[in-house]
Amino acid sequence: MVCSLLVQVQFKIFPVNYAAVLRNEIAWFEKPENSVGFLTSHVVGDTSMIKTIISDRMSVIVQCISSILIATIVSMIVDWRMGLVAWAVMPCHFIGGLIQAKSAKGFSGDFAVSHRELVALTSESASNIRTVASFVHEEQILKKAKLSLREPMRISRIESIKYGLIQGVSLCLWNIAHAVALWYTTVLVDKRQATFVNGIRSYQIFSLTVPSITELWTLIPTVISAISILTPAFQILDRETEIVPDSPEIKSPERILGRIEFEEISFKYPSRPEVVILDNFSLIIESGQKVALVGPSGAGKSSVLALLLRFYDPHKGRILIDRKEIREYNLRWLRKQIGLVQQEPLLFSSSIRDNICYGNEGASETEIIEAAIEANIHEFISSLPDGYDTVVGEKGCQLSGGQKQRIAIARTLLKRPAVLLLDEATSALDGQSERKVISALGSKSGPLFRTTQITVAHRLSTVITSDVIVVMDKGKVVEMGKHATLIAATHGIYLKMFQLQNQMEG
């Protein structure tokens, strides 16, 4: 009964642990201690450790405790003095066990850390295998892995010697306990306070109990390891996320209109608090407008999009959507209203259909095909032997950069977002494909179905038709207007960028 309950707990812990990881804000995932490898190691390692404790060890612990209790009661019934002796020598086992437990603590801690480092290294190199292979960096990775294991190996060698000695001491204490019990049996028999038969019976029962006690103590290192491994897991479970996805639980209108206002925003990334990214940034985007953010690399364009999705919160200023601060919207609901296509979109290792349906699982076949046509990828998908059922490989590795981008655009279009954020979303497409996609995206806004569009682009040819072009530099808006207005301004940054690109293309 107890064991079956514990097994159920074991299966419930994994989703709880995983949900606690996913609940955190983006900045938390950017900390080195929360890298993909470390988290994988945590989730997999913690779950298997819980399995070991609950399924394998817990039943042994329950068995040992019950056999000790039964043996004690029976030996008390046979001869109460002998029963008391069994308990009197218990400190010998107890002290032996304590010494073992103490030595095991450092032992397991080192293994946990080195194991996590190794998993982090493996997952990082496996997910970046093309970069690793092109730089012929395999040897260095192996060296790094060996290096990360060197210190734990040295420590564990010392610890295992210590552990062996300690095991010897605790066995010695166990033998002392036996000797005392046997000696006392002879004393009782000698003084005729117990019959020979009862003395032997009692001693036999005591002897049968000792293996259970010893086994219980040998399980202590496992339990200690579990505690040291599970402590960080519980820290993750207990952590309060800074940007709460389910709060506030207020009812929102069906669809936002898409008027966006950045009001004197100042922003620094939590991982780099000394660098100001956005400095008093203000911008109003009317519902249904097409706005382009352009400017030099590192100007803060993508950061503006990240703030709108509340991947981070600004330190100063407010962001309003439909004249209401975004913190007042339920975050999950808000994110469903916004579609983001990034420069290097990540596809999941499943079929093209599943990837397109990612934000809208209930979409019909017609809707999926419509979105693919708008993203100019339907023709390619139809030419594949398995069509929409083609599996794209891990992170979409079986597709070209441009195909990945177009599938990502289709995925976002299927979401029918009220606000569409395109961050260099067509940068990998050829000119003709790009024009088709951009014109399809441009036709998204109509009187019935408004989409506010914010495009971040380096290639200015893709944004010249925008309603407003915002030129950013060092986290500030430096120029703003239509393409014609901006190129008319002499000495403007936009004009310079435009001329430079024209020269390069010409």
Ligand X SMILES: Nc1ncnc2c1ncn2[C@@H]1O[C@H](COP(=O)(O)OP(=O)(O)OP(=O)(O)O)[C@@H](O)[C@H]1O
Binding site for ligand X (CB under 6 A): 30, 269, 271-272, 277, 297-303, 456
User: Between 381 and 456, whose beta carbon lies closer to ligand X?
Assistant: 456
Contact by Cβ (8 Å): 290, 455? yes
State the nearest-atom distance from the C-beta of 269 to ligand X, in Å.
3
User: To which H or E segment does residue 420 belong?
Assistant: strand 419-423
User: Between 273 and 506, whose beta carbon lies closer to ligand X?
Assistant: 273
State the nearest-atom distance from the C-beta of 305 to ligand X, in Å.
8
CA distance 163 to 99: 9
User: Between 44 and 500, whose beta carbon lies closer to ligand X?
Assistant: 500
Amino acid at 118: L
Spacing of C-alpha 141 from chain mean position: 23
User: Between 303 and 426, whose beta carbon lies closer to ligand X?
Assistant: 303
Judged on CB neighbours under 10 Å (0-12, 13-18, 19+), 423 is buried
Contact by Cβ (8 Å): 315, 272? no
State the nearest-atom distance from the C-beta of 391 to ligand X, in Å.
31
Determine how many CB atoms are found less than 10 A away from the CB of residue 132: 16
The residues, ordered by sequence, that sit 6+ positions from 129 with a Cβ below 8 Å of its Cβ are none
State the nearest-atom distance from the C-beta of 273 to ligand X, in Å.
9
User: Between 38 and 312, whose beta carbon lies closer to ligand X?
Assistant: 312
State the nearest-atom distance from the C-beta of 316 to ligand X, in Å.
17
CA distance 277 to 303: 8
Q: Report the b/e string of 395-410 with b at 16+ CB within 10 A.
A: ebeebeebbbbbbbbb
State the nearest-atom distance from the C-beta of 265 to ligand X, in Å.
12
Start-to-end C-alpha separation, the chain: 79
Compute the 3-state secondary structure of the chain and give helix, strand, coil in percent, each to the nearest 5. Answer: 60, 10, 25
State the nearest-atom distance from the C-beta of 344 to ligand X, in Å.
11
User: Between 346 and 488, whose beta carbon lies closer to ligand X?
Assistant: 346
User: Between 106 and 296, whose beta carbon lies closer to ligand X?
Assistant: 296
State the nearest-atom distance from the C-beta of 298 to ligand X, in Å.
4
User: Between 100 and 466, whose beta carbon lies closer to ligand X?
Assistant: 466
State the nearest-atom distance from the C-beta of 278 to ligand X, in Å.
8
Q: What sections of 421-492 are H helices per DSSP?
A: 431-442, 483-488
Closest CA to 57 of 115, 10, 106, 14: 10
User: Between 127 and 287, whose beta carbon lies closer to ligand X?
Assistant: 127
The residues, ordered by sequence, that sit 6+ positions from 371 with a Cβ below 8 Å of its Cβ are 356, 363, 410, 411, 413, 414
State the nearest-atom distance from the C-beta of 335 to ligand X, in Å.
18
User: Between 288 and 300, whose beta carbon lies closer to ligand X?
Assistant: 300
Contact by Cβ (8 Å): 250, 328? yes
State the nearest-atom distance from the C-beta of 301 to ligand X, in Å.
4
Contact by Cβ (8 Å): 256, 288? no
CA distance 432 to 442: 15
User: Between 195 and 271, whose beta carbon lies closer to ligand X?
Assistant: 271
DSSP structure class, residue 351 = B
